[in-house]
Chains A and B, each alone.
Chain A
Amino acid sequence: MGAYLTRRFLLMLLTLFGMSVLIFVMLRLVPGNIADILVDAAGIADPKEKAKIINELGLDRPILEQYGQWVGGLVRGDLGFAYVSERPALEEIAPRIPISAKLAGMALFFSVVIGVPFGVISAVRQNTALDYFLRVISLSGLSLPSFWLALLVLMASVHWFGTIPIYSNEPRSFLQEVGLLSIPAAVVGFRSSALVMRLTRSSMLEVLRQDYIRTARSKGASQTSVNYDHALRNALLPVVTIIGIEAAFLVGGLIVTETVFNIPGVARFLVEAILWRDYPIVQNLVMLIAFVVVMVNFLVDMAYMALDPRIKYAD
């Protein structure tokens, strides 16, 4: 196990290194740089002013030197200066991480809390009215675009309650924060919950037809025990995989939700930074997302072992 973990850790480092090269190169392949954009935003294209900005930001230095400077800084915990705000990138990024993390965490929580039980119910009550109803709900969750759903929620809230659940002021208490984030989290989580529900259902249906389930039933185990102790545990393996993948994809869903609900999180900030070609912000944020994805994958692999004792990672 120890050797496996070491191998896994080295592989993670290699993946992150590959990601860093990819991010760095791809960003520079996109047409236009920050100097173009800053000058364009002012409606002018003065080559002298542009050259001055390029020089100030060090964009005229050799590309390898720029890469070395960035990675060296990352190792030291120095993320550089944001080009647009001219403030340390860490100061710009750090306050936004907890907001997005909480939102993503709550969305994931929603998707699991709704998706897994309803998936089980749907499978156990296969081809009943309840099953059909839950399948329609899950299908709508997959087919409704997040931005549309988010706008509908806002409109309904203004129309019926005369209030709008957007993030306009920093919440003063934990409860207020939960209240503020729960609606957008539910909007983001709705799609994931639909996916989790459908996968749980199909996985449960498959497991419920296995011999050992019949054995459990014949031994006199209760229906609840069969469903939850024997079937669900084994049906969860593919569900855990999809939850891991969804956790990575959540960032994409957050962009829309953070924009519509006006949440000052990482995802919206990343899009803005890409539009401005604010390399220090984009590079560091994408690296952070890559790190989260790699970590989630690692945790999913560990969860396999916990769920199925037959799975062992050999040294």
Chain B
Amino acid sequence: MRTCLALVAGSLAAAVFVASPAFAQKQGGTLRISHRDNPPSASIHEEATISVNQPFMAIFNNLVFFDPKEKVNSPDKIVPELAESWTWNPEKTKLTFKLRSDVKWHDGKPFSAKDVKCTWDALIGKGDEKLDIIRKNPRKVWYSNLKEVTVGSDTEVTFELGRPQPSFLSMLAAGYSPVYSCHVSGRDMRSKPIGTGPFKIVDFKRNEAIKLVRNPDYWKKGRPYLDVIDWKIVPNRSTRMLGFAAGEFDMTFDSDVTFPLLKDIQAQKPDAVCEARPSNVNTNLLVNRDAPPFDNPELRRALALSLDRKAFNDILFQGHALTSASLLPPPAGVWGMSKEMLETMPGYAADREKPLAEAKAIMTKLGYSKDKPLKLKVATRNIAIYRDPAVILIDQLKQIYIEAELEPIDTTVWYTKIQRKDYSVGLNLTGLGLDDADTNFYENFHSTSDRNYTAYKNPEVDRLIDQQSAEADLEKRKKLVWEIEKKLIEDGARPVINSNVANTCWDPKVKGVILQHNSIYNGWRFEDVWLDK
């Protein structure tokens, strides 16, 4: 009996030990991570690159956040952060947040609803010009439906929308939507930002390092576990990989490990934990539809039909990339079309002969042939991840009597060039900050967007985008989203080649890393990460 009781007591103690994270996770230590390049600034609202999000997200908090314990970001996985709770009015045009009252900025000043108003006022162009907390706003279109932010009290703030928009909450939950402080200037936010998050910035040495230390006054008690996060900026990828293999870094930069490199890492550091996941960055074609010869929709269709997505995937990703339209397909993506649906779309079928024959027939009809090819330049950013698919594209275009030449464009003038429409065909990479239909469609395909690089205009698509945006029923909305995707494919709006997949690796002593599988831009608070040593 005594043995039995001892066993029960032992089992209970073991169960408590396993169930309670406080017993398992260890406090302290320095996490060393390599960074691929120099972040343009530390101001997340002003930038559009993972180079900024990954190191600086840990300084901030959002009102709400995608549950960091879940791998897939979806509207039903949103949890409170600086907000304790939220409510919609019956018309779904007013979203009111009840805020936490125990939050302080890193400089000791209290956080309040005024800070929330100040941040989103700046984002919709109503900010205090003297403070100038945001100098440029790449996601202006996200908040085009936001009319006003009103402060009820220090702990209550309301977002007033022009019309119902269920995705609005998801946008606030994205890594790109931190709450900024009213009392810190834009210049400071770009170089040494103040936040409410689990880590404080100590140093941002350009081209060298970023150092974050634990915020001892963090409102979430017991977090973060790490004392320091030490980012080293290492522009050379070979050095980064060798540094990781030699134990100089505990973790690689997100999605930095390509499939060929993964083999090297596994050979040099067999105990490394590596995870492949979609980056929600897709490779796509930009076609200048306003200038001859691609003002002819038939020619654009031929171009889209000529794409052999499998060849791109096999060569560049060893078959790991995902075939997709503009939104990431399930199971990683929430909104994209399934593989079966995609296969029914023009140019997506596994059998390549039929679409290729159709593309050739169109070209022949337009007067092109092997002896009389269409000559053009394929413009792309002069970076390997852009150039490599562009070279494959050029090879594939030969099949439909297009003789193309690569035109590598200096990365610093790439967007200016495409904005000016100074290209015929371009190869581009588009990263989605959030796996969401609204952000994707409004950013990339709505006729009013600055980032609709091909200036695709279709009033019917604009109407459908607005319609899906206001639809509260998730299933009905998905059907509208797929209808839009289908139209975009048929119109050759921005033919997507595939959605990229890449690896991130870390040392086995690093625990608590949960990579988000439908956005590389989210989930980098590092508050649950700890070192087992």
Contacts and interface: CB of A to CB of B under 8 A. Distances in A.
Report which residue of B136, B238, B247, B415 has the largest number of chain A beta carbons within 10 angstroms of its beta carbon. Answer: B136
A86 interface: yes
A41 B47 contact: yes
A84 to B, nearest CB: 7
B412 A260 contact: no
A268 B38 CA distance: 11
A163 B46 contact: no
Contact of A43 (B208, B242, B415): B415
Given A32-B410, A36-B412, A49 B136 contact: yes
A85 B232 CA distance: 17
B467 interface: no
A154 B247 contact: no
B27 interface: no
B138 A166 contact: no
B20 interface: no
A276 B19 CA distance: 51
Nearest to A272: B207
Report which residue of A31, A41, A275 has the largest number of chain B beta carbons within 10 angstroms of its beta carbon. Answer: A41
Given A41-B47, A45-B415, A262-B236, A158 B242 contact: yes
A269 B190 CA distance: 19
Contact of B413 (A36, A84, A272): A36
B136 A43 contact: no
A1 interface: no
Contact of A42 (B136, B246, B247, B412): B136
Interface string B209-253: 100000000000000000000001011101100110111100000
Contacts of A163: 246-248
A92 B208 CA distance: 11
Given A43-B138, A46-B136, A276 B412 contact: yes
Contacts of B424: none
A44 B413 contact: no
Contacts of B414: 40
Contacts of A42: 40, 46-48, 136, 138
A132 B41 CA distance: 54
A272 B451 CA distance: 26
Contacts of B419: 45
Contacts of A272: 38, 206-207
B207 A269 contact: yes
Contacts of A45: 415-416, 419, 450
Nearest to A161: B246
B137 interface: yes
B487 interface: no
A154 B412 contact: no
Contacts of A154: 238-239, 242
A115 B251 CA distance: 41
Contacts of A85: 191, 206
A94 interface: no
Given A37-B412, A45-B419, A277-B412, A164 B242 contact: yes
A265 to B, nearest CB: 9
A38 B232 contact: no
B402 to A, nearest CB: 28
Nearest to B243: A164
B49 interface: yes
A53 B136 contact: yes
B135 interface: yes
Interface in B258-281: 268
A41 B246 contact: no
B206 A92 contact: yes
A220 interface: no
A88 B49 CA distance: 25
Interface in A242-287: 259-262, 264, 268-269, 272, 275-277
**B interface, size bucket:** 35 or more
A158 B267 CA distance: 12
Contacts of B413: 31-32, 36-37, 40
Nearest to A42: B138
Contact of B135 (A31, A40, A49, A159): A49
A35 B247 CA distance: 39
A164 B450 CA distance: 45
Nearest to A99: B208
A87 interface: yes
B205 interface: yes
Interface string B388-431: 00000000000000000000001111111001000000000000
Contact of B243 (A38, A166, A268): A166
Interface string B448-463: 0011000000000000
A238 to B, nearest CB: 36
A74 interface: no
A311 interface: no
A277 B416 CA distance: 15
Contacts of B187: 86
Contacts of B412: 32, 36-37, 40, 275-277
A275 B32 CA distance: 27
A41 B205 CA distance: 19
Nearest to B49: A41
Nearest to B37: A272
Contact of A52 (B38, B135, B140): B135
Given A32-B413, A276-B412, A46 B205 contact: no
A264 B207 contact: yes
A11 interface: no
A305 B135 CA distance: 58
A59 interface: no
Contacts of B191: 85-87
B136 A36 contact: no
Contact of A260 (B137, B138, B236): B236
B48 A46 contact: no
A303 interface: no
Contacts of A155: 242
A44 B415 contact: yes
Nearest to A281: B206
A21 interface: no
Enumerate the 5 nearest inter-chain pairs by beta-carbon distance, A residue then B residue, closest first: A45-B419, A42-B138, A164-B246, A264-B208, A40-B415
11 contacts: A32-B416, A36-B413, A40-B414, A42-B48, A43-B48, A84-B41, A92-B206, A157-B246, A166-B243, A264-B205, A268-B207
Interface of A: 31-32, 36-46, 49, 52-53, 56, 84-87, 92, 151, 154-155, 157-159, 162-164, 166, 168, 259-262, 264, 268-269, 272, 275-277
Given A44-B137, A46-B450, A154-B242, 10 more contacts: A40-B414, A44-B48, A46-B137, A49-B137, A151-B238, A155-B242, A159-B268, A262-B236, A262-B239, A262-B243
Interface of B: 32, 38, 40-41, 46-49, 135-138, 140, 187, 190-191, 205-209, 232, 234-236, 238-239, 242-243, 245-248, 268, 410-416, 419, 450-451
